[in-house]
Amino acid sequence: MLRLAPLVPLLPLLGFLLNGLFGRRLSRGSIAAIGAGSVGLAFALTIGLFAALLALPAHDRSVEVDLFTWMSAGDFRLDAGLLLDPLSVTMALVVTGVGFLIHVYSAGYMREDPGLWRFFAYLNLFTFAMLVLVLADSYPLLFVGWEGVGLCSYLLIGFWYTEKINADAGKKAFIVNRVGDFAFLLGMFLIFRELGTLEFTPVFEAAPRALEAGGAAAFWIALLLFVGATGKSAQLPLHIWLPDAMQGPTPVSALIHAATMVTAGVYVVVRSHVLYLLAPDALLIVAVVGAATAIFAASIGLVQTDIKRVLAWSTISQLGYMFLGVGVAAFTAGIFHLVTHAFFKALLFLGAGSVIHAMHHEQDLRRMGGLRSKLPVTSLTMLIGALAIAGIPPLAGFFSKDEILWSAWAGGRQALWAIGFIAAGLTAFYMFRLVYLAFYGTPRDAEAHHHAHESPPVMTLPLVVLAVLSVVGGWIGIPHALGEPLGHVPNLLEHWLEPVFEDAEVLRAGAGEGMAERMAEAGELAMEYGLMAASIMIALLGIGLATLLYLRDPGRRERLTAGLAPLRHVLERKYYVDEIYHAVVVMPYLALSAFLWRVVDVVLIDGFVVRVVGGAVTWYSRIVSRLQTGLVQNYATAVFVGAVVMLGWFLLR
């Protein structure tokens, strides 16, 4: 079974080739069938891989499938291969599972679009690249997938490229990601210089011996890889591309910019956890950046009026949580939140897509309202998604978010816990603000409301499946503190991922961080319950506040927010980050370009170099051309003189 692993990425690649090469001539039905079918088959195969891996003893659940020799130069040799272990298979399950649902949904959402074949070809190419990313057994192969998903992200953000704003958003995403990718490459070079290999297994085996714990080499490797991750996962300060990426079709936002691609950064950090544990300073930076991003993005999400942009900022915020989790060395918690987030954020995006579809491409929350009666399935599933992300038990978001917050607290980072805690309240508030504005109250645009209609089953079915997953998805990672009293319910995810992180436990113990001992202390259990209750309280507080301001009494909202107008303005301008980039990066760059053009090119090169070189040649030619008199006798004289000189030379020598 495990031998079939290469088929998992190859099936979507085949779908891409079929749709990409022949899509123009295929019927719309077959395009959708190829697009969704190839990912569905890949999902089925991944389940098979999962089962095969599960059948192995826990310690043997790390299988490498060699494919071919990719590079060979001198001593250096790199084989392309797939690494199947609990971590990569978990990621592959999310990518193909959630990806399949979104493909199915796309068949309905993009039904009318003339570029349907192109859309499905790109989506399949994306799935292929993402699977290469998560299944790769070496950094270079991972980087191939990493760049591949970046390319597809660019292609799909600018899918409706005839409008400049869409094409610009695509370019912005691509360029900002390049910044992170550059750091990622430097990180890889550093790994190669220090360890002499780039394949995961040897790297992680050699790292604890070759790299000094807390040393400069480990720190820079970890930091550079993380800078790469901030680009791909839209963390501060490289987050600016993700909100603009919402210009793409909504299924793209769900698949690429919420559920899968943007989590690649988290995956890289978790995959490289051995390196990060050798660099506690870098790990702390990860946690701080994650926490800062979580609250920063959540606060911006409070005032967005575009339904998709609320979700985009929410995604950035939730990714911040994941980095906070892995930053306090709670790798399982980070992956857990990645999985549950994939469920409920994909659900929320697809729900938003359903609303946009119903409202005929209206995305402004201020023109919605009262859609609950028109869109029963969408509004119910969105409500479940909102409850899940807000952290209401027993939905998925509660368990994963709480796991992260608890890990932060238990790891001795109470300040980071506090930031995450407040962000959790903001999350609950802005999500319910969105739900109330869209589905409750009175219609603010009666005309659009009148024409609104529920989406076809091909779109609502994925919503229902994702809603179920958003409810039950958290049950795979029930913390021990809750599982034990409930009758020894095991933490399935932690158990499953344990073999991946067991070496990490050794390192962590060596580093003296002793988190396990901390958590074992008797008082800690009470603390964990206390924090859990506090999380629920703040989520309820956020929801309550949203209910008060957006459902019960919109008039009071006006009075209350009047005093907060300056703050509101700052939030609406997204803390002026785009403006700062414009002033610090774009303007100097344009000035430099203008200098190179007007001074270096026009004056120096065209004016000086070209004129001097050209003038010198002309001047010299004018002189030597005088030799050409055009008179035959002058030439003959030269011939005779030459002949005489040569003759004289030979005779008199």
Partner 1 sequence: MVPLSHYLALSAVLFTIGVLGVLTRRNAILVFLSIEIMLNAVNLSLVALTRATGNLDGQVTVFFVITVAAAEAAVGLAIVVAMFRRRETVDIGRFDVLRG
Closest CA to 139 of 75, 218, 83: 83
Choices 8-16, 205-213, 278-286, 636-644 (CB under 8 A): range interacting with partner 1: 636-644
Task: Say whether 494 sits in a helix, a strand or coil.
Answer: helix
Residue 618 binds to partner 1 (criterion: CB under 8 A): no
Pick between residue 305 and residue 637 the one whose CB is nearest to partner 1.
637
Distances in Å between the Cα of 103 and the Cα atoms of 170, 265, 350, 384 are 21, 23, 11, 21
Least distance in Å: CB of 626 to partner 1? Answer: 6
Q: Which stretch binds partner 1 (CB under 8 A): 47-55, 200-208, 486-494, 635-643?
A: 635-643
Cα–Cα dist 156/408, whole Å = 36
Compare residues 486 and 632 and give the one whose CB is closer to partner 1.
632
Q: How far is the CB of 620 from partner 1 (least distance, A)?
A: 13
Q: According to the binding rule CB under 8 A, does residue 619 interact with partner 1?
A: no
Rounded distance, CA 220 to CA 214, Å? 10
Quick check: 637 binds partner 1 (CB under 8 A)?
A: yes
**From CA 197, how far away is CA 203, in angstroms rounded?**
6
Site string for partner 1, 337-376 (x = CB under 8 A): ----------------------------------------
Question: How far is it, in rounded angstroms, from Cα 3 to Cα 460?
Answer: 36
Shortest approach of partner 1 to residue 73 CB, angstroms? Answer: 55
Q: Is 70 exposed, middle or buried, given 0-12, 13-18 or 19+ CB atoms closer than 10 A?
A: middle
Q: Which is nearer to partner 1, 509 or 646 (CB)?
A: 646
Is 488 a binding residue for partner 1 by CB under 8 A? The answer is no
Q: Does 632 bind partner 1 (CB under 8 A)?
A: yes
Structural contact between residues 499 and 86, judged by C-beta atoms closer than 8 angstroms? yes
Is residue 629 near partner 1 by the rule CB under 8 A?
Answer: yes
645 sits near partner 1 (criterion: CB under 8 A): no
Number of Cα atoms under 13 Å in the Cβ half of residue 21: 6
Judged by beta carbon, residue 486 or residue 624, the one nearer partner 1 is 624
Would you call 485 helix, strand, or coil by DSSP? coil
* CA–CA separation, 16 and 38 (whole Å): 9
- Give min distance, CB of 629 to partner 1, in A: 6
Q: How many CB atoms lie within 10 A of CB 579?
A: 12
Measured from the CB of residue 639, what is the shortest distance to partner 1 in angstroms?
10
Q: At CA 503, angle to CA 292 and CA 43, rounded to 5?
A: 75
Instruction: Write the DSSP symbol of residue 198.
Output: -
End-to-end CA distance of the chain: 90
Q: Which string of DSSP letters, residue by residue, matches 304-368?
A: --BHHHHHHHHHHHHHHHHHHHHHTT-HHHHHHHHHHHHHHHHHHHHHHHHHHHHTTS--BGGG-
Shortest CA distance to 252 belongs to which of 397, 124, 134, 386? Answer: 124
Query: According to the binding rule CB under 8 A, does residue 566 interact with partner 1?
Result: no
**651 is a contact residue toward partner 1 (CB under 8 A):** no
Candidates 36, 12, 35, 1; CA nearest to 131 is: 12
Report how far residue 66's alpha carbon sits from residue 70's, in angstroms, rounded to the nearest whole number: 11
Among 486, 522, 565, 627, binds partner 1 (CB under 8 A): 627
Q: Which one among 216, 517, 640, 648 touches partner 1, defined by CB under 8 A?
A: 640
Exactly one of 73, 630, 649, 652 binds partner 1 (CB under 8 A); that residue is 630
Which residues inside 410-449 make contact with partner 1, applying CB under 8 A?
none
DSSP string, 222-251: HHHHHHHHHHHTT-TTSTTHHHHGGGS-HH
Q: Which stretch binds partner 1 (CB under 8 A): 152-160, 323-331, 565-573, 622-630?
A: 622-630
Considering only 136-144, 488-496, 542-550, 630-638, which stretch makes contact with partner 1 by CB under 8 A? 630-638
DSSP string of 425-461?
Answer: HHHHHHHHHHHHHHHSS--SSHHHHHH--PPPHHHHH
Nearest approach in angstroms of CB 631 to partner 1 is 5
Q: How far apart are CA 358 and CA 448, in angstroms?
A: 9
Q: How far is the CB of 603 from partner 1 (least distance, A)?
A: 34
Among 562, 631, 651, 652, the residue binding partner 1 under the rule CB under 8 A is 631
Shortest Cβ 638–partner 1 spacing (Å): 10
Pick the stretch among 43-51, 143-151, 266-274, 623-631 that binds partner 1 (CB under 8 A): 623-631
For partner 1, which residue of 636, 645, 646, 647 counts as binding (CB under 8 A)?
636
Choose the binding region for partner 1 from 40-48, 184-192, 568-576, 628-636 (rule: CB under 8 A).
628-636
d(CA 314, CA 344): 11
Rounded Cα gap, residues 131 and 45, in angstroms: 13
Among 559, 626, 651, 653, binds partner 1 (CB under 8 A): 626
State which residue, 27 or 633, has the beta carbon closest to partner 1: 633
Near partner 1 by CB under 8 A: residue from 633, 651, 652, 653: 633
Q: Rule CB under 8 A: choose which of 162, 442, 618, 628 binds partner 1.
A: 628
**Cβ distance to partner 1 smaller for residue 162 or 625:** 625
In the complex, the residues that contact partner 1 under the rule CB under 8 A are 624-633, 636-637, 640
